[in-house]
Chain A
Amino acid sequence: DTGVSQNPRHKITKRGQNVTFRCDPISEHNRLYWYRQTLGQGPEFLTYFQNEAQLEKSRLLSDRFSAERPKGSFSTLEIQRTEQGDSAMYLCASSPVINEQFFGPGTRLTVL
């Protein structure tokens, strides 16, 4: 399968714990996006990478959130000291050119 992959698919954690998600984009896609989708809402933009450079971060990305994309390949999204309000689906998308984003299956986070 050469699509965007995300791991884990589901994560249940207790409030206050740290979690890390991984996204493997389609090979050679230099643009990578993270979005968050809460129940009953559309996805909301979190952050954008072009190769290894993080070029934009949404105001939704509080200080507890950090994202990296070392060497411009896979990306990780870490949430520290999770809160119940962080419960959501975290979606990753990669793009070879402007305006063509391919989404992964998402990681569903539940914070108890």
Chain B
Amino acid sequence: AQKVTQAQTEISVVEKEDVTLDCVYETRDTTYYLFWYKQPPSGELVFLIRRNSFDEQNEISGRYSWNFQKSTSSFNFTITASQVVDSAVYFCALSVNSGGSNYKLTFGKGTLLTVNP
């Protein structure tokens, strides 16, 4: 079975601070995919990034960066110079092929990030 743990339930920062959201995953599959989604107050899940298990390169996209470490089964997400618009719930998710090309997502419980002006 797959499991995703986001130990930080809530984080509060002041604008322009850097913040890192932690994600630890569990799976016995050697081929898997990791994701981060953003859920603003409107409720719609917004895709941020996908990583496969064979690609451990870190990625940077603007103020966002992701650190994937298989040795610690972690896929952490850092926002640099946070802004009020970054306030949202962030979900880490994992998918493997559960048969029939079903790559259903297993989500963590999410981290509520509040960026204060």
Give the B-binding residues of A (Cβ under 8 A).
31, 33, 35, 40-45, 48, 50, 55-56, 89, 91, 93, 95, 98-106, 108
- B50 and A99 contacting across the interface, CB-CB below 8 Å: yes
A to B contact number (C-beta, < 8 Å): 66
CB distance from B36 to the nearest CB of A (A): 12
Once A99-B33, A103-B44, A104-B44 are accepted as A-B contacts, the answer to whether A40 and B109 lie under 8 Å apart by CB is yes
Residues of A within 8 A of B45 (CB): 43, 91, 93, 103
Are A33 and B104 in contact, with the CB atoms below 8 A? yes
A31 touches B101 (CB 8 A): yes
Chain B interface main SS type:
loop
A78 to B110, CA, bound (A): 27
B100 at the interface (CB under 8 A from A): yes
B42 contact set on A, CB distance < 8 A: 105
* Contact among A50, A55, A106 for B44, CB-based, below 8 A: A106
In this assembly, does B106 line the interface, its C-beta being within 8 Å of a C-beta of chain A? yes
A98 CA / B100 CA spacing, docked (Å): 11
Q: How far is the CB of B24 from chain A (nearest CB, A)?
A: 14
User: Known: A99-B33, A100-B50. Is A48-B102 also a contact (CB below 8 A)?
Assistant: yes
18 further A-B contacts with Cβ under 8 Å, apart from A98-B101, A101-B47, are A40-B110, A42-B107, A42-B110, A43-B105, A44-B107, A48-B102, A56-B100, A56-B102, A56-B104, A89-B43, A93-B45, A95-B103, A98-B97, A99-B33, A99-B95, A100-B47, A104-B44, A105-B42
Question: Which residues of chain B come closer than 8 Å to A33, judged between CB atoms?
Answer: 104-105
By a CB distance below 8 angstroms, the chain B residues around A103 are 37, 44-45, 47
The reply to whether the CB of B79 lies closer than 8 angstroms to some CB of chain A is no
Our pick among A40, A45, A55, A105 for the contact of B105 (Cβ within 8 Å) is A45
Is B99 interfacial (CB-CB < 8 Å)?
yes
B61 within 8 A of A: no
A75 shortest CB reach to chain B, Å: 15
Residues on the A chain within 8 Å of B43, using CB: 89, 105-106, 108
B48, chain A: closest CB distance, angstroms: 12
